[in-house]
Amino acid sequence: MNNDIVTTNIDRLGLLLAEIDRLTKEADCIKDELKDVATLPNGSKEFIGNLFRAIVIESDRKTTDYKKLIVDLGIASDVVAKYTKTSAVFSVKTTAR
Protein backbone atom coordinates (compact mmCIF):
# COMPACT_ATOMS: atom_id res chain seq x y z
CA MET A 1 0.00 0.00 0.00
CA ASN A 2 1.31 3.44 -0.97
CA ASN A 3 0.88 6.06 1.80
CA ASP A 4 2.35 8.96 -0.18
CA ILE A 5 0.11 11.99 -0.20
CA VAL A 6 -0.35 13.52 -3.61
CA THR A 7 -0.70 17.27 -3.23
CA THR A 8 -2.75 19.34 -5.60
CA ASN A 9 -2.42 23.03 -6.38
CA ILE A 10 -5.11 23.59 -3.75
CA ASP A 11 -2.98 21.80 -1.15
CA ARG A 12 0.08 23.79 -2.24
CA LEU A 13 -1.92 27.03 -1.89
CA GLY A 14 -3.00 26.08 1.62
CA LEU A 15 0.55 25.21 2.64
CA LEU A 16 1.90 28.45 1.17
CA LEU A 17 -0.75 30.56 2.90
CA ALA A 18 0.00 28.86 6.23
CA GLU A 19 3.72 29.56 5.79
CA ILE A 20 3.05 33.18 4.79
CA ASP A 21 0.89 33.59 7.91
CA ARG A 22 3.65 32.18 10.12
CA LEU A 23 6.31 34.37 8.49
CA THR A 24 4.09 37.47 8.69
CA LYS A 25 3.56 36.94 12.41
CA GLU A 26 7.31 36.53 12.92
CA ALA A 27 8.07 39.68 10.90
CA ASP A 28 5.40 41.65 12.80
CA CYS A 29 6.97 40.64 16.13
CA ILE A 30 10.36 41.91 14.98
CA LYS A 31 8.80 45.16 13.68
CA ASP A 32 7.01 45.65 17.03
CA GLU A 33 10.32 45.24 18.88
CA LEU A 34 11.95 47.86 16.63
CA LYS A 35 9.03 50.27 17.12
CA ASP A 36 9.21 49.76 20.91
CA VAL A 37 12.92 50.71 20.92
CA ALA A 38 12.36 53.65 18.55
CA THR A 39 9.69 55.18 20.78
CA LEU A 40 11.87 55.13 23.92
CA PRO A 41 13.40 58.44 24.98
CA ASN A 42 16.56 58.75 22.89
CA GLY A 43 15.64 55.48 21.18
CA SER A 44 17.30 54.71 17.87
CA LYS A 45 15.13 54.82 14.76
CA GLU A 46 17.75 53.16 12.55
CA PHE A 47 18.85 49.57 12.91
CA ILE A 48 21.74 48.03 10.99
CA GLY A 49 22.04 44.32 10.32
CA ASN A 50 24.67 42.39 8.41
CA LEU A 51 22.56 42.33 5.25
CA PHE A 52 19.76 44.83 5.75
CA ARG A 53 18.98 48.17 7.38
CA ALA A 54 15.63 49.04 8.97
CA ILE A 55 14.30 52.50 9.75
CA VAL A 56 11.27 53.21 11.94
CA ILE A 57 9.23 56.06 10.46
CA GLU A 58 6.47 57.78 12.39
CA SER A 59 3.72 59.63 10.57
CA ASP A 60 0.18 60.80 11.19
CA ARG A 61 -2.64 59.38 9.11
CA LYS A 62 -5.93 61.18 8.69
CA THR A 63 -9.13 59.44 7.68
CA THR A 64 -12.60 60.78 7.02
CA ASP A 65 -15.63 59.06 8.50
CA TYR A 66 -17.84 59.37 5.44
CA LYS A 67 -20.79 57.56 7.02
CA LYS A 68 -20.89 60.09 9.85
CA LEU A 69 -20.33 62.97 7.42
CA ILE A 70 -23.29 61.86 5.30
CA VAL A 71 -25.52 61.65 8.37
CA ASP A 72 -24.34 65.02 9.74
CA LEU A 73 -24.92 66.73 6.39
CA GLY A 74 -28.29 65.03 5.94
CA ILE A 75 -27.42 63.63 2.52
CA ALA A 76 -30.19 61.34 1.26
CA SER A 77 -29.36 57.72 0.40
CA ASP A 78 -30.42 58.20 -3.25
CA VAL A 79 -27.84 60.99 -3.59
CA VAL A 80 -25.17 58.77 -2.04
CA ALA A 81 -26.18 55.99 -4.47
CA LYS A 82 -25.43 58.28 -7.44
CA TYR A 83 -21.80 58.49 -6.26
CA THR A 84 -21.42 54.84 -5.30
CA LYS A 85 -19.40 52.55 -7.55
CA THR A 86 -19.88 48.77 -7.51
CA SER A 87 -17.04 46.50 -8.63
CA ALA A 88 -16.82 42.73 -8.83
CA VAL A 89 -14.39 41.37 -6.25
CA PHE A 90 -13.09 37.83 -6.20
CA SER A 91 -11.45 36.12 -3.26
CA VAL A 92 -10.24 32.61 -2.58
CA LYS A 93 -10.89 31.22 0.89
CA THR A 94 -8.65 28.32 1.84
CA THR A 95 -9.21 26.16 4.91
CA ALA A 96 -7.79 22.90 6.18
CA ARG A 97 -10.00 19.83 5.78
73-88: per-residue pLDDT in tens?
999 999 999 999 999 9
Coil, strand or helix: which one is 37?
Answer: helix
> What average pLDDT does the structure give for the chain?
92
Entry pTM: 0.72
What is the residue extent of each domain of the chain? 9-82
**pLDDT at position 2:** 59
Percent of the chain with pLDDT over 90: 87
Distance CA 72, CA 69 (A): 5
Per-residue model confidence as pLDDT tens digits over 2-12: 566 778 999 99
